[in-house]
Every structure is written in C-alpha cells, then in structure tokens.
Structure 1
Amino acid sequence: MEQESKVLIERYMAAYFTVTKRMNGELREVLQDDMTMDQFQIIDYIVMQGKVTSTELADTFAVGKSSITAIITRLADKGILERTRDNDDRRVVYLSLTERGIGHYKKAQAKIMETLSTYLVHFNAEEVEGFLGVFEKLAYLLEEESGES
C-alpha cells in the first residue's frame, strides 16, 4: 500500500505542477494589462464578501499584512479599491470595490472564463462535477487542517 500511495502522490504532484504552471501562465497572460492573479484573487474575494479589512485578507490568503498592504495600495492608486473608515472605530478600515474596480473585475473574470472554457469543453458534465467535487473536498480538508473552516 505504501508504494501505491507513493505512486499516487507522485502522479498528483506531476499533474498539479503542470496544471498550475501552465494555467497560471495563461491566466497571467490574459490579465497582464488589467491586474495580477494575486490582485484578481483579492478583488474576487472582496466581490464575494462585499467589504473586508486588510487583516481579513492577510488571514484568508495566508500572507503578511505588508504584502496585502502593498497590493491594496496599488489597487487603490489605480482607483479599483476604496478605503472606508468604520464610523464607530476609526482604527478599522474597510476595503471595497469602486465602480471602476467592478468594471475591471468583470473584464478580468470574462477573460478567465473564456480561457478556462477552452479546456472544459474536453470533459462531459459528469467528469467536471466529479473533478470539482474531489477538488472541493481537498480544499475543505486543507482548510479544516489549518483551522480556517
């Protein structure tokens, strides 16, 4: 069983590295003028949450606050994000998208959808659902292990 596990893990690692390397390269290429993948992921998270704090982003993406601050500053300078202070506690700063940011997000999302769609057409609906189910289960296990769920 140990040898079988080793082979499965090696297969997973080989596929993972190929997919992430190639897919990230393609996505970086289609987003090059609009934003980086890190910026897109942060914007996507803000779209889902509505408004967030930089601490929440740092925790969610498991990076230092200085990294988040640098990304936020670049996005704010481009007019994509806006900072709003909490009325009750002026130390708390919320981040949300501007109208311009929503436009950039929709444009980037459309490019990503178009890119990913070219690969999904090679699978039937059952294969896609099966893959996503397993992938989401792995994500859940990883979040549970790190105490994020």
Structure 2
Amino acid sequence: MEEKMLPEITARYETAMFTVNRKLNAMIRELTPGDLTAEQLSTLRYIRSKGSATSSELADIFCVGRSSITAIITRLSAKNLIIRRLDEKDRRVIYLELSEEGTRLTDEMETRILHLFSKYLVDFDSEEAMLFINVLEKLAKVLAETADGSGNQQ
C-alpha cells in the first residue's frame, strides 16, 4: 500500500468501525436480557465456543485484568450461568463451563444475533461477504501477532 494513502484509509477505517461497533453493540444490547452485560454475554459466547476456559485465558482473550474477569465470573456464577470445575491433574486450575441455563441462554442469544446479522448481510453477495471476512480475519491475525499492541512485529 502507498504510504500517502495511509491517513485516508486510517480515517475511513476508524469512522466505519466506530459506526459498525456502536450500532451493532446497541442492537445486541437490546436483544440481551436486562440483567446481562455485553461483557458477560461475550464471556458466555467465548466459553460456549471453546467448551471451557480458565479465568487467565479469558483475561488474555478480552485484554482485561484478572480482577475484571473475576468480577464477571462471579456475577455469571451467581446467575447460575457458569460452573467451576477443578482440573483433575492440577487442583490449582479451575475451568469455567456453561451450566445448562448458561448453554440455553447462549444458544438463544446466538440465534438472535444470527437473525440480526442476517438482516444486514443480505445486502452483500457471497463474494463481497467472503472478501470482507477474509480481510477482517487478516487484520485480526496481524493484530494477534503483535502482543504488545504497538504494531511492531515480534
């Protein structure tokens, strides 16, 4: 990419991502039960996709401190949406899994979110949709490879 294009591309990216994130997050919040925060829903969805997770893994994935994740886990546990399971080999390790209610709620939310997205994705043909997701995944990969977030490759 030509360096002279960088300011325009950066500005357009920031504007588009701000709008997309703000609008979609607001719509997802409307679909979410009132006692569940966006962070709690994201945590449930991540655990659902992996089967289980540790609090350290969640803190790393969501780029937050362990105390923030502990607060989210405590609230989800109080709502009976997750269960804690000790590792059989290392009792210091605690795995978080969805309870039956957590699984039911997460599956219901996945269906609602898919329905929400489908209303907007119909405006894209298959080629556009695949190009978009491929470019977004490439950006995600580049960002994941820079652990400090500085943009410097390790």
- TM-score higher than 0.5: yes
Q: Distance in 1 between matches of 2:75 and 2:136?
A: 32
Query: In structure 1, what is the Cα distance between the partners aligned to 2:35 and 2:45?
Result: 14
Shift of 1:125: 0.6
Q: CA RMSD in A?
A: 1.5
Partner of 1:43: 44
The question of 1:80 aligning with 2:115 is answered: no
Distance, in Å, in 1 between the alignment partners of 2:114 and 2:48 is: 16
1:17 counterpart letter in structure 2 = F
User: Offset at 1:34?
Assistant: 6.2
Is the 1:34–1:108 Cα contact (8 Å) retained in structure 2? Answer: no
Aligned to 2:95: 94
Deviates more, 1:130-139 or 1:88-97: 88-97
- Comparing both structures, which one devotes a greater share of its residues to helix? 1
Unaligned stretches of 5+ in structure 1?
Answer: none
Question: How many percent identity over aligned positions?
Answer: 43
What is the match of residue 22 of structure 1? Answer: 23
Contact 1:83–1:93 (Cα < 8 Å) also in 2? yes
Alignment of 1:1-149 (within 5 A): 1-33=2-34, 35-146=36-147
Q: TM-score, normalised by structure 2?
A: 0.89
> Which runs of structure 1 show a deviation greater than 3 angstroms over 4 or more consecutive aligned residues?
none
Listed as ranges, the gaps of 5+ residues in structure 2 are 149-154
Higher relative contact order (CA 8 A, sep 6+): 1
C-alpha distance in 1 between matches for 2:46 and 2:3: 39
Quote how far apart the aligned CAs of 1:33 are. 3.1
Query: What is the aligned length?
Result: 147
Deviations 1:73-110 (A, max 9, x none): 11111111001122333222111011111100011111
- Following TM superposition, by how much is the alpha carbon of 1:32 offset from its aligned partner in structure 2, in angstroms? 3.6
Residue 48 of structure 1: how far off its partner (Å): 2.0
Measured against aligned partners, the alpha-carbon deviations of 1:1-24 in whole angstroms (never above 9, x if no partner) come to 544211111111111111111111
